[in-house]
Structure formats: structure tokens, C-alpha cells
Amino acid sequence: MEYYGGIDAGSTYIKVAIVDSNGGIQGCKVVSTGIDCRSTAKKVFGELCDEIGLSQSNVPAVISTGYGRKLIDIANENVTEIKAHAAGSLRTAPDGKRIGTIIDIGGQDSKVIIIDKDGETRNFAMNDKCAAGTGRFLEVLSRVLEVTVNDLGALSLQAKAPCRINSLCAVFAESEVISLLARGEDRANIIAGIHRSLAKRISGMAKRAGLESDVLLTGGGALNPGLVTAFEDELMMDIYVAENPQFNGAIGAALLGRNSNGGAAG
Amino acid sequence: MDQLEKRKARFVRGLVCSAETVLAELTESPDLPEGMGYFINIMKDVFVHQDKSLISTRLQRTDNQKLIGTYCIMVPEELIYAAGAIPVRLCGGSYEASSIGDELVPRDTCPVVKASVGFTSLGLISIYQICDAVIVPTTCDAKRKMGEELSKFTEVWMLEVPHIKDSEGARRQWLEHIKALKKDLEKLTGKKIRRKALQSSIRMIAGAQYEARRLYEIRKSAATVIMGREAMLALNAYSYDTALEWTKAMAGLNDELESRRDNGRVVADSNAPRVLIAGCPPIFPNWKIPSLIEEMGAVIVADESCMGSRYLYDPAGITEKSMRNMMAGIAARYLMPCVCPSFAPNEDRLYRLLQMVDEFKISGIIYHVLKGCVIYDFELIRVEKIMKEKNIPVLRIETDYSPEDIEQLRTRIEAFVEMLGTKMKKG
């Protein structure tokens, strides 16, 4: 059995994944990127190999992706996040679902990728400049609401009447949330409103890019059930959450390494 | 030194640095055709040396000869030359100038207008300073209002362009405006436009167009012998040169490129995706989109930019050499084939794009939207639709002249080029 590594050097976190030659996911690991993504990547990849009980020489190909992809010296090759996510979705989508659209909610950007049946990119869109529509948007607002990002989902599901919140700017949204709190608005309603606002912004992007069913949600944002519901309400369709959504890019990169090294496709 | 002087000095430093960076990138390439040197020097004279006498010498301007600044692509250069004056095109592409213009026009104005106002207001860059009059056609809203703002600093002549070119009334009206322009030019130069002079200036512009079209033909070939970022610069340089000198240099470049083609001296991989830049014009020194596309491994084989192929494509069709016929021919050439999105309806632009996709064997389109340019963005809806039918991917890039978004753009363009590569492999 041979093993393939994928490193997704994102803006906030570095995610690593190892797949075997059958495409099975052997393990995943995530750490904060820190200031030196090259050595962080090397370290965390070594640790993952140790955990699985592999020596790095058993891993013939390592592919990097993400913002820092070109800095990763232990990688043999690098691909863009778009390509990695598209490849990952073939493996991480629930069984029997043929994914037409991937929505990735990352730390500093969000992407919509329209793919064909082979997992190749047909079209894509990314958010412009502002943090609105990204994981950072949720982080900023959760601080104001004094909850952790992990609790946002459960809380928002208790909302009775989601608020309407500005979806264009993280800073404006923050001041809006503060004034809603000052008016005594229910926290659950505010959080649900934040999810709705994020989903609305990304859905607009998805429709423009040529949204096709089924929709797979990836990235850290997919771990938030409130956000999943918001997307379902906004797009009026079922949304599927990827297996290991945070690691979709890393898994995709590893699978691309496997495909180009003789492993069976798909 | 007072604040204004300091500011001007900073501006000049910034502009020189931006211009030199782009030019250095081009000249560092071992594949740069020798014939490009001439065009690179034009840009150096205008943006780096910024020297009045250097520019006048280049334009072969005699002591009292008038220099006319033009904007957009509807000002008939044939008339300017026939009146014994020299036209230069002033649409601005500088980030530094657009930052100055930021304070003088509304925030949502496009950077072309911001940069043009910025340049003119400072009265610094010689090419803007030495114009005796500036002609501003009434194309889009921003350009129209720009004319008013520019008139605070320089002599501005507005040229009314109809927006519906199919109507008989509009065409007649346009001819009248062109005739009025002829009179104004004669008044400025004190020289009557004679039949012979007009005939020879029509021939001269047609010569420039002939060489420009020769360059497009060379770029249609599957063998890439010149990078798009170079070819676009050579076309852009026409703005600051006389038609005659530019034509000579372009003929030389074309000869060189044809011999490269015949000798199999290619400068890019034959599998490289062939990209068409559509939408707003990249204008020197704002070369970030052309540079990024080719840095990512694609080749820009065509553009429909009004600084490039649209500007120098259609010659004036003259059947008889009477003054009347020539005036009608010139008026028609600047109105009818022009597919600037300030016209409506503008179906012709879609046909032109489809034709380019076929002729240049385009793999994908990068649709350049400069922030604030509503009309190009509007037409994207139609362009996306027809290109979807042809299975040609389109990537919309919205940006301005600031270098701040380069990293985001790089990822986007890289993913697009990667996607085109995969699509080509799959056939």
C-alpha cells in the first residue's frame, strides 16, 4: 500500500491529510499557521505520519495547496485551492450524491466551485476583498456576542425570528450587532441573522457562477449547523456537508497526488 | 519646499517607479523581440523621463505646431493630421494619477477618468501639459463629466457622439459634428484642411491600421512568437507617437515576428491556454492583468481593448476622393464599426467577440471590469450567455489600478488558467 499527502496551507490554519492508494482517508491534522508556514507544515506533516505509523519515505507524493502552497518545500507539486477542493469533493461527498457545486467557507475567503462529473472545475467565484462572507466574519461577530464560534450553530437553531443584518461589510455588521444587542434583541435571533446574511452573500455569488445541485459545503464553516440551515433556506435546496469539511482541500490535494502517481481515479 | 511641491515630487517618483517596474519586467524577458525596444522607449520618454523637448522631438513637432490631446476612440485623427497638428491619446492608466484624481471626482468614478483628471490637474506630466486643446467625446457618463472637470485646467472641446448609431438622424448629426470639429481645428491651426492633405492623412492612418492588423494575423497563428503583454504595449504606444513613425516601427516588429514564425522561434508552449482580454482597457502603466495572466502560463493572443485592437482596426472606407465623400467616410469609420459599450444597442460587439474566439482559437476570456465602469459590466451578462453556448469559460475580474489586490487576483487567475488547461486536455 502506498500513501499520498496533501497540505492545505491556509491563511489561518494548516491542514494536512494522508490518503492511501485506494483513496481511503488515513488521517487528518490541523494547526494554526503561525508566522512560519513552511516549518509548521513540515512539523505537522511529520506528526501525522508518526500517528499513522508511516515513515515519510512511504509517501511518494505530497501536494500543497492554499495561500501558502508555494512556500511548502516538502511538497513535490502545488495546485490552487479551487482544483484541490474540486478533487476532494469526489471523496468527501456523502455516498450517492453527485456534487455540482462546492461552497467553501474558509477563514479569509469563500469560494463557489461548479464542477463536472469528473470533479474538474467548470466555473468558480471567490469573494472580493472584504471579510464579509468568510469565517472571519463569524469570528468577529462571535466576539461581540460573547460566544465561541463553535457555539454559534446550536444557538442560532433556537432562533424564532432571525434579524436582518448587513451582508456587505464585516465592520458595519459588527456595529449593527452591537446596536441590536443594545436594543435587547434575542441573541439567538441575531446569530441566525448573521448566518442568513453570510449565506445570502455567498448564495448570490453561487447563483451568478451557475449553481447546480447537489451542493456540498466545505471549510470550517460547514461545521456550523446554523450556517447549513441558513444556506438551505437561502438556496431552497438540500445542502450536504463534506466528510471532514475542514480538510477537503488537503484531502483533494492528496488525491491529486494519488491520481498522478498511478492510483485508480475516482 | 511647500506641501504642493512635495506632493508633486512624490507623485513623480511613484509614477516613474511604477512605469520602470513594468518596463523592467518586459525587458528582462530573453524572448522580447528586438523591435519592441522602440515602443518601450516611447513609454520611457513619456512616463519616466517626462521630458518636453524629448517628446516634441519624438513627435517631430515644429515650433508652432499644435498638439491635440484626445480621449476615447471617436476623435478623427485624420482631420487633426490634415490640419497640420499632431494627436496624442490621453486616457490615463496610472495608479498614482488615479489617487490624485480620487479627490477631484466622485469615488465611484472609473480609474481611467480618475487618472486622466489626476494627470491633468497636476500639470506635471509633459504630454498632458503641452497639449494646445483636448477633445473629449461624450461616450459614457464618466467621460462626459470628465470633460467638464478637465476644463478647469486645460482647453477642452467636447465632441458629441450619438449613442444610437443605427438611426439616420444620429448619423447625419454626427457628420455635422465632425464638420464642426474640422472648422475648429482649422481655426486653431490657422490652416485650412485641403483635399490633398486629408487624402494623405487617411492613407497614413490606414497604413498604421494595416500594420496593426498584420500583428493580429501573426497572433492568430498557433505558434506564439510574441507575448500578449508585449504586443499590447506596442499598440498602446501608438497613443504617444506619430502615426507615420509608429507604422515604420510596427512594420519592423512584424517582419521580425514573421521571421520568428518561419524559423520556428516560439516563445510559449503550444499547449498554453489562449486567452482573450475583453472589457475595459489595460492602459500603461497599469499592466497588472496582462502580466498576471501570462505569469500563470497562459498567452494573451487577442484583446478587444480600445487601447489595442479596437482602436486600430477599421479603416475609413473612401470610394471617391471628393472632400464630401472623404468627410462622410471618416465620420462613418469612427461611428459605425465602433463597439464601445456606450452605444446601445451594441449587438455588434457580441458578433465581434464570437468572431475573435473562432479566429484566434480562444480557450477562455478574462473579462476586465474597472471599478465604476457600469457599461462594460452590463454587457458581461450578454457576453457570458453567448460564450456559455460556445463553451468558452469567462472569468470576470473587477479591479482598479491599485496594486493591493494582486494576491487575490493571482489566485483567481491561476485557478482559471489551471481550469482552461484541464479543459483543453479533456478536449
What pLDDT, in 10s, does the model give residues A127-165? 866 777 788 889 888 999 999 999 999 999 999 999 988
Which pLDDT value is given to residue B239? Answer: 96
Task: Kindly list the domain boundaries of chain A, sorted by start residue.
Answer: 1-93+246-266, 96-241
Which pLDDT value is given to residue A165? Answer: 86
**B414, B420, B423, B426: best to mutate for the A interface, most A CBs within 10 A:** B414
Compute how many other C-beta atoms are within 10 angstroms of the C-beta atom of residue B56: 17
Chain A residue closest to B392 (CA)?
A: A122
Q: Residue B313 has which C-alpha cell?
A: 482596426
Domains B3-193 and B201-224+257-314+341-426 share a fold: yes
Q: Choose among B160, B135, B335, B127: nearest CA to B239.
A: B127
Contact check, Cβ <8 Å, A83/B418: yes
Which pLDDT value is given to residue B166? Answer: 86
Contact check, Cβ <8 Å, A128/B412: no
Which chain B residues touch A109 with a CB distance below 8 Å?
A: 408
Range scoring the smallest mean pLDDT among A4-13, A45-54, B96-105, B315-324 = B315-324
In the predicted structure, residue B124 carries a pLDDT above the cut 80: no
H or E stretch covering A88: helix A81-92
Which chain B residues touch A118 with a CB distance below 8 Å?
A: 426
Chain A residue closest to B380 (CA)?
A: A208
In the predicted structure, residue B300 carries a pLDDT above the cut 50: yes
A79 touches chain B (CB under 8 A): yes
A95 touches chain B (CB under 8 A): no
Contact check, Cβ <8 Å, A120/B423: yes
| ipTM metric | 0.76
Domains A1-93+246-266 and A96-241 share a fold: yes
Which pLDDT value is given to residue B404? Answer: 85
> What count of Cα atoms within 13 Å lies in the side-chain half-sphere of residue B415?
30
Which pLDDT value is given to residue B1? Answer: 65
Q: Residue B94 has which C-alpha cell?
A: 496610472
A82 touches chain B (CB under 8 A): yes
Task: Kindly list the domain boundaries of chain B, sorted by start residue.
Answer: 3-193, 201-224+257-314+341-426
Confidence label for A172 from pLDDT (cuts 50, 70 and 90): confident
Which pLDDT value is given to residue A266? Answer: 40
A81 touches chain B (CB under 8 A): yes
CATH of B3-193 among 3.40.50.11890, 3.90.1580.10, 3.30.70.580, 3.40.50.720: 3.40.50.11890
Question: How far is it, in rounded angstroms, from Cα B372 to Cα B356?
Answer: 26
In the predicted structure, residue B417 carries a pLDDT above the cut 90: yes
Contact at 8 Å (CB) between A233 and A32? no
Range scoring the smallest mean pLDDT among B310-314, B323-327, B385-389, B390-394 = B310-314
What is the model's pTM? Answer: 0.88
A144 CB-contact burial (10 Å; exposed 0-12 / middle 13-18 / buried 19+): middle
Which pLDDT value is given to residue A265? Answer: 43
**A64, A69, A123, A134: best to mutate for the B interface, most B CBs within 10 A:** A123
Max Cα distance, chain A (Å): 61
Cα–Cα distances in Å, from B59 out to A95, B65, B154, B189, B422? 70, 10, 21, 17, 48
Which chain A residues touch B423 with a CB distance below 8 Å?
A: 120
Contact check, Cβ <8 Å, B419/A128: no
A96-241 sits in which CATH class? alpha beta
What pLDDT, in 10s, does the model give residues A247-257? 999 999 999 99
Contact check, Cβ <8 Å, A80/B405: no
Q: What integer best gives the mean pLDDT of chain A?
A: 90
Comparing CB atoms, the residue among B405, B408, B415 nearest residue A80 is B415
Question: How far is it, in rounded angstroms, from Cα B348 to Cα B29?
Answer: 37
How many A-B residue pairs are in contact by the CB < 8 A criterion?
39
Confidence label for A264 from pLDDT (cuts 50, 70 and 90): very low
Mean pLDDT of B387-413: 92
Q: What integer best gives the mean pLDDT of chain B?
A: 94
Which chain A residues touch B419 with a CB distance below 8 Å?
A: 82-83, 120-122, 124
Which residues of chain A from 205 to 244 reach within 8 Å of chain B, CB to CB? none
Which pLDDT value is given to residue B259? Answer: 97
DSSP assignment string, B293-358: HHHTT-EEEEE--TTTTTTTSPPP--SS-SHHHHHHHHHHHHHTT---TTSSS-HHHHHHHHHHHH
Which pLDDT value is given to residue A262? Answer: 60
User: How many residues appear in chain B?
Assistant: 427
Which pLDDT value is given to residue B47? Answer: 95
Comparing CB atoms, the residue among B405, B407, B415 nearest residue A124 is B415
Confidence label for A108 from pLDDT (cuts 50, 70 and 90): confident
Fold entry, domain A1-93+246-266: Nucleotidyltransferase; domain 5 (3.30.420)
Max Cα distance, chain B (Å): 64
- More confident of the two residues B85 and A127: B85
Which pLDDT value is given to residue A10? Answer: 86
Chain A residue closest to B426 (CA)?
A: A120
Contact check, Cβ <8 Å, B426/A120: yes
Chain A residue closest to B385 (CA)?
A: A210
User: Chain B residues within 8 A (CB-CB) of chain A?
Assistant: 393, 398, 405, 407-408, 411-412, 414-416, 418-419, 422-423, 426
In the predicted structure, residue A87 carries a pLDDT above the cut 60: yes
Sheet holding B299-303, edge to edge: B299-303, B274-279, B364-370, B394-399
Which chain A residues touch B398 with a CB distance below 8 Å?
A: 128
Which residues of chain A from 101 to 130 reach within 8 Å of chain B, CB to CB? 109, 118, 120-124, 126, 128-129
Mean pLDDT of B14-42: 96
Comparing CB atoms, the residue among B405, B419, B423 nearest residue A129 is B405
Which pLDDT value is given to residue A106? Answer: 85
In the predicted structure, residue A70 carries a pLDDT above the cut 60: yes
B201-224+257-314+341-426 sits in which CATH class? alpha beta
